[in-house]
């Protein structure tokens, strides 16, 4: 048979060459396209040949040559949007993000072809934390075609992260408010509403789009009969992550006479002390990040895990596809996502009776499994906070400091308006927030000015290491929680540092986390059930030193970790719950 580069004579239509290339290796296909281009210098199909050559070169790893081919295609057909997309992706992979963005922004395309260009712009700008630019690009995409659920999800969450209010942006033509909410994504839902039934509908819509059912169930229905309960923890966050900080003490304290602990790990290596500590606490550390969902599930099944505890839920890095294979006879979700996870293969959602009151339990899937006390694991072996002073943090020594170190997407217009009322009522108070992103900072400052509060009364703390972050909490006077998505780990850290909390409790798990912590600490006066009560509680602490001192007293000298958040006591409660569901 003649080599492919010998079967591209002058005048051969490109479509006649394609069947001969199909199935050929990259080197042969490259040679054939080059031969065809050399033999057909005037063909109107040259743009397509150059584009196809670029694809082959990119697939073979020759990115530089691929970019040359895409540019040749665009020189012949400037509106070839596929070449614009691919060339931009190659530039991005080369670390030339600005060039990629300029290329996509300047592309000459009809509206129906601009979607991938706009969506890639939005994705890349979001990765660079240019939330305003990303939101604008995705909004233009949705105005062309509103029926893009993934784009709606990113656009909605960008508006949350950038404090772009109103959060619905005035709506999207072609999408009803209900459809817009259902496409908003499960993480954004926790900060959008405290209605667990709506959160469940949003999660169900997302799972239906993203996580198809597996073709079979792997674990035996009747389970196993091991001398020790084999509990497997499934996570992408066995590292310096909020979940990692909380879970380490539980993993270390499991009673090895009754439990054998497996860790199914999709975590990116961060070479941290915490990661090494977590891995050392596992009886079996099983990396599965390189495995497909099916292969990961089959590995779990081979280990005959009695109870598989998913620590991601509907968050980034979750292995929901593996869970759908039902690799363990009992599967529970815990800690990573504090809302409904309506995956049919999950049996339990570990919680407590404060975060999921009995009258709300029916809205949740899987079935709530309340622990006997506080739902949240904690660790008493975390690094001690570094010494810190207000002067070092740029805080006046005599100001009343109201802190909230939650991510910006948890800050809603209603909560921010409440904060402005509190600042009006406490003229010497400052609001101390985390420096999350530039778009959000600018929008919060504008919102403060519109509310009659000088922007200088809002101070933004830079990102820092965990020990300095803890020390900062100890410098504040009161922690102001967000709603409907409360602080979780941060609220526990505040109590550890002796910082009273004012929270607003709603109906959903996410909106009752701080209430659970405060109930455990015996500080229920910090729990409000309306915005007006929330404002009044903060003003009471700010105006009445005796009330503030009374709230601090139960938290003095690290009392929180010795009592309510005691890791040994928590491990005992968790083990009792795991034993019950294994037997039942």
Residue 20 has pLDDT above 90, yes or no: no
Residue 318 has pLDDT above 70, yes or no: yes
Which pLDDT belongs to residue 7?
54
Domains of the chain from N-terminus onward: 4-182 (1.25.40.10), 229-380+569-583 (3.40.50.11380), 391-562 (3.40.50.2000)
The two structure tokens encoding residue 140: 């233009």
Which pLDDT belongs to residue 2?
47
With beta carbons less than 8 A apart as the criterion, state whether 80 and 55 touch. Answer: no
Q: How confident is the model at residue 296 (pLDDT cuts 50, 70, 90)?
A: very high
What b/e readout covers 450-469, taking b as 16+ CB neighbours within 10 angstroms?
eeebeeebbbebeebebebb
Alpha-helix runs per DSSP H in 314-372? 320-323
Strands (E) in 356-512, as ranges, are 367-370, 400-404, 429-434, 458-461, 478-480, 501-504
Residue 333 has pLDDT above 60, yes or no: yes
Q: How confident is the model at residue 140 (pLDDT cuts 50, 70, 90)?
A: very high
**How many CB atoms neighbour CB 241 within 10 A?**
21
Give the residue carrying structure tokens 């959903």: 508
Residue 165 has pLDDT above 50, yes or no: yes
Average pLDDT value for the chain: 94
The tens digit of pLDDT for each residue in 486-540 reads 999 999 999 999 999 999 999 999 999 999 999 999 999 999 999 999 999 999 9
For residue 36, the surrounding DSSP H or E stretch is helix 26-39
**In the chain, % of residues over pLDDT 70:** 98
Task: Please provide residue 51's backbone torsions phi and psi, each rounded to the nearest 5 degrees.
Answer: -65, -50
- Arithmetic mean of pLDDT, 217-246: 96
Q: Which residues contact 426 (CB under 8 A, 6 or more apart)?
A: 400, 402, 538, 539, 542, 543
Q: How confident is the model at residue 9 (pLDDT cuts 50, 70, 90)?
A: low
Q: How confident is the model at residue 1 (pLDDT cuts 50, 70, 90)?
A: very low
C-alpha span between 228 and 443 (Å, rounded): 54
C-alpha span between 362 and 367 (Å, rounded): 8
Residues paired with residue 367 on neighbouring β-strands, in sequence order: 348
- Arithmetic mean of pLDDT, 128-154: 96
Which pLDDT belongs to residue 584?
61
- Arithmetic mean of pLDDT, 378-402: 91
With beta carbons less than 8 A apart as the criterion, state whether 315 and 333 touch. Answer: no
The tens digit of pLDDT for each residue in 428-485 reads 999 999 999 999 999 999 999 999 999 999 999 999 988 999 999 999 999 999 999 9
For residue 524, the surrounding DSSP H or E stretch is none
pTM of the model: 0.90
Q: How confident is the model at residue 582 (pLDDT cuts 50, 70, 90)?
A: confident
The two structure tokens encoding residue 433: 């927030």
CA terminus-to-terminus distance, the chain: 68
Alpha-helix runs per DSSP H in 162-282? 177-182, 186-192, 196-210, 242-253, 273-281
CA atoms 210, 212, 213, 216: torsion sign: negative
C-alpha span between 405 and 417 (Å, rounded): 17
What b/e readout covers 93-126, taking b as 16+ CB neighbours within 10 angstroms?
eeeebeebbebbeebebeeebbbbbbbbbbebbb
With beta carbons less than 8 A apart as the criterion, state whether 163 and 189 touch. Answer: no
C-alpha span between 522 and 503 (Å, rounded): 14
C-alpha span between 362 and 400 (Å, rounded): 42
- Arithmetic mean of pLDDT, 396-413: 97
């Amino acid at each position: 048979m003649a080599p492919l580069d010998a079967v591209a004579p002058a005048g051969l239509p490109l479509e006649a060459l394609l069947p001969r290339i199909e199935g050929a290796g990259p080197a042969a296909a490259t040679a054939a396209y080059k031969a065809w281009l050399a033999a057909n210098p005037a063909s109107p199909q040259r743009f397509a040949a150059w584009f196809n050559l670029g694809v082959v070169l990119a697939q073979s790893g020759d990115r530089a040559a691929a970019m040359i081919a895409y540019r040749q295609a665009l020189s012949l057909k400037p509106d070839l949007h596929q070449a614009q997309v691919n060339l931009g992706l190659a530039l991005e992979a080369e670390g030339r993000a600005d060039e990629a963005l300029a290329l996509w922004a300047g592309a000459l395309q009809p509206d129906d072809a601009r979607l991938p260009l706009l969506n890639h712009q939005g994705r890349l700008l979001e990765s660079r934390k240019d939330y305003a630019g990303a939101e604008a690009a995705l909004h233009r995409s949705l105005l062309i075609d509103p029926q893009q659920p993934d784009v709606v999800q990113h656009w909605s969450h960008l508006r949350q992260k950038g404090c772009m209010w109103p959060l619905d942006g005035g709506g999207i033509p072609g999408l009803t408010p209900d459809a817009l909410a259902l496409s908003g994504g499960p993480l954004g839902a926790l900060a959008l509403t405290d209605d667990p039934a709506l959160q469940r509908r949003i999660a169900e819509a997302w799972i239906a789009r993203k996580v198809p059912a597996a073709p079979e169930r792997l674990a035996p229905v009747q389970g196993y009969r091991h001398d020790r309960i084999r509990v497997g923890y499934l996570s992408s966050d066995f590292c310096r992550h909020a979940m990692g900080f909380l879970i380490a003490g539980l993993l270390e304290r499991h009673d090895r006479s009754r439990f054998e602990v497996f860790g199914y790990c999709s975590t990116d290596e961060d070479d941290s002390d915490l990661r090494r500590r977590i891995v050392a606490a596992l009886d079996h550390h099983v990396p599965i990040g390189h495995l497909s969902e099916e292969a990961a599930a089959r590995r779990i099944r081979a280990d005959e895990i009695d109870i598989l505890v998913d620590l991601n839920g509907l968050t980034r890095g979750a292995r929901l596809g593996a869970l759908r294979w039902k690799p363990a006879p009992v599967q529970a979700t815990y800690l990573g996502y504090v809302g409904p996870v309506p995956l049919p293969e999950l049996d339990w959602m570990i919680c407590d009776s404060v975060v999921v009151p009995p009258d709300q339990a029916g809205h949740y899937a899987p079935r709530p499994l309340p622990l006997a006390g506080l739902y949240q694991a904690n660790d008493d072996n975390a690094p001690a906070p570094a010494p810190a002073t207000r002067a070092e943090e740029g805080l006046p020594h005599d100001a009343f400091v109201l802190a909230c170190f939650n991510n910006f997407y948890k800050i809603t217009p209603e909560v921010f308006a409440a904060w402005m009322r509190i600042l009006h009522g406490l003229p010497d108070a400052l609001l101390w927030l985390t420096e999350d992103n530039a778009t959000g900072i600018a929008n919060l400052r504008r919102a403060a000015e519109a509310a009659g509060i000088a922007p200088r009364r809002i101070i933004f703390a830079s990102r820092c290491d965990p020990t300095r972050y803890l020390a900062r909490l100890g410098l504040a006077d009161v922690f102001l929680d967000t709603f409907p998505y409360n602080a979780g780990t941060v609220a526990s850290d505040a109590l550890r540092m002796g910082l009273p909390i004012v929270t607003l409790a709603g109906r959903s798990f996410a909106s009752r986390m701080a209430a659970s912590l405060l109930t455990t600490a015996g500080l229920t006066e910090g729990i409000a059930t309306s915005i007006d009560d929330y404002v009044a509680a903060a003003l009471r602490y700010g105006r009445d030193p005796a009330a503030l001192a009374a709230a601090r007293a139960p938290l003095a000298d690290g009392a929180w970790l010795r009592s309510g958040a005691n890791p040994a006591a928590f491990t005992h409660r968790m083990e009792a719950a795991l034993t019950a569901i294994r037997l039942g």
